[in-house]
A = this chain, B = another copy of it.
Amino acid sequence: MQENGPLVNQLNAVMSQSLNAFQQYRQLPAKQRATFLLAIAKNIESLGDTLLNITAAETNLPLARLQGERARTIGQLNMYAEMLLKGNWQNCIINTAIPEKNPPRPDIRSMNVPIGPVVVFGSSNFPYAYSTAGGDTASALATGCSVVVKAHPAHPQTSRLVAKAIADAISETGMPPNVFQHVEESSFESGKLLVQHPSTAAVGFTGSFSGGKSLWNYAAARSNPIPVFAEMGSINPVLIFPDALATQYDSLASQYAASISLGVGQFCTNPGLIIVHAGKGLSAFLEALTAQLEKVNAAAMLHQGIITAYTQKVATALQQPGVKPLIHHSPSDTDHKALPILASVSASQFLQNTQLKEEVFGPYSLVVVADDANQMLEVLQSVKGQLTTSLMGSDTDFSQYASFIQEATQVAGRVICNGVPTGVEVCDAMVHGGPFPATTDSRFTAVGVEAVKRWLRPVAFQNFPDALLPDELKRDNPLGVSRKEI
């Protein structure tokens, strides 16, 4: 422990400052917080090409992709600002007194309040949208929580630039200086200490299962456990029903070749499992999908660790009993760039094998061939919790297999009909979550307006005179927020 003395002291200071900032920040009017979020968005935009070029160099992500992700990040900040101005995120509920009831009902009014300082661990694959000023930070700051971001070591300069944009927004809008803090200490130990710190009230994480589950374990072992929302990836099963396979194999192959290789497969919604049953169209589908994936150019992944892991995990998958590679080249070329890999296995072999149910992060997909539709369902039910499940079928298919929709809701947080899982729309209805291990708590989403619920707790005010109530709950509703009055 002595070695860690300076680190412990440093992080104690960070969390103590975060708690102090929280005590001021949570009491600011929501409108001021909205102004702050808008300023962060504006400052990130102002970083212009400087930011994009630095991130491209750090992550190997192409500029067009980074432009899109930057737009999304700015869009998220603006969305939460808009939410703050509308006010319905606070879930204001008012039960007025009923003196004649036995026993008499007092006046009770409840609303959401922020949970406390939130520690955010950004991801490597979304250097903007799930990182320093990404969805976790934006949603937590929106609710009135202070935020401590542990910078992702894969893109330190990007993180520093974005942190500076937030720091500038703090000055410009007069926020408490430590409402956002950026910790560049990259050790595993520092993450553990942040999660264990008594002032930490909640944790947001996006990344691998091992990383997310470790943080979850540290939080669970605290004397006062705190919520950790970790989004830990998924293999995103895709079911292709027989009529669609027989009649649309070509367009299905194109759609999925694009989705599997999109962004070098570095999305948590990458379709890693395609479930079909033997029959008309199958061999044509496999041929077309293989041919299209073979045409994809080798591309650099985020960093050396990712390509190494991809190569190893593909090798492990291909060694499993009954797994046949459909693409015979190596998953990485001599320049350490990644190439898509496709393989197939029978459903009966898949069902016996837990290894094949693990995520292979990268442009890889496994086609599981079932004997019939019942076995397709069995395959779906055998996988762990998922972010998404896609159902590809014609009208004829759905007249027969409509019950699969309900089954898919039991596996994943988002069910897609005739579409690919990649591409997560940021909107009110989005659910980017799902049963464990897709996330650590299926009751929440990491994307969209509803993501703020992770950082909010309800408080009831009983028998308060109007003047002492928070403005949100006052009789005349001076802030004009949306409320449920009963």
Contact = CB atoms under 8 A, between A and B. Distances in A.
B486 A95 contact: no
Contact of A429 (B95, B385, B442): B95
Interface in A418-462: 418-419, 423, 425, 427-431, 433, 435-437, 440-445, 450, 453-454, 456-462
B95 A428 contact: yes
Interface string A334-363: 000000000000000000000000000000
What number of copies of this chain does the assembly contain?
2
Interface string A106-126: 101110010100000000000
Contact of A416 (B105, B384, B444, B463): B463
A220 interface: yes
Nearest to A450: B458
A417 B461 contact: yes
A271 interface: no
A415 B225 contact: no
Given A93-B428, A225-B436, A425-B108, A417 B464 contact: yes
Given A409-B113, A453-B443, A486 B428 contact: yes
Nearest to A441: B227
Interface in A70-105: 93-95, 103, 105
A405 B468 CA distance: 8
B417 A460 contact: no
A27 B407 CA distance: 11
A458 B486 contact: no
A315 interface: no
A398 B464 CA distance: 11
B461 A415 contact: yes
A216 interface: yes
Given A95-B429, A115-B443, A463 B106 contact: no
Contacts of A414: 459-462
Nearest to A91: B450
Nearest to A486: B428
12 contacts: A93-B429, A93-B450, A108-B429, A109-B429, A226-B436, A405-B468, A414-B460, A417-B461, A417-B462, A417-B464, A418-B463, A425-B462
Interface of A: 27, 93-95, 103, 105-106, 108-110, 113, 115, 216, 220, 224-227, 384-385, 398, 402, 405-406, 409, 412-419, 423, 425, 427-431, 433, 435-437, 440-445, 450, 453-454, 456-465, 468, 484, 486
Among all A-B residue pairs, the 8 with the closest Cβ atoms? A431-B460, A93-B429, A110-B429, A442-B457, A414-B460, A220-B220, A108-B429, A95-B427
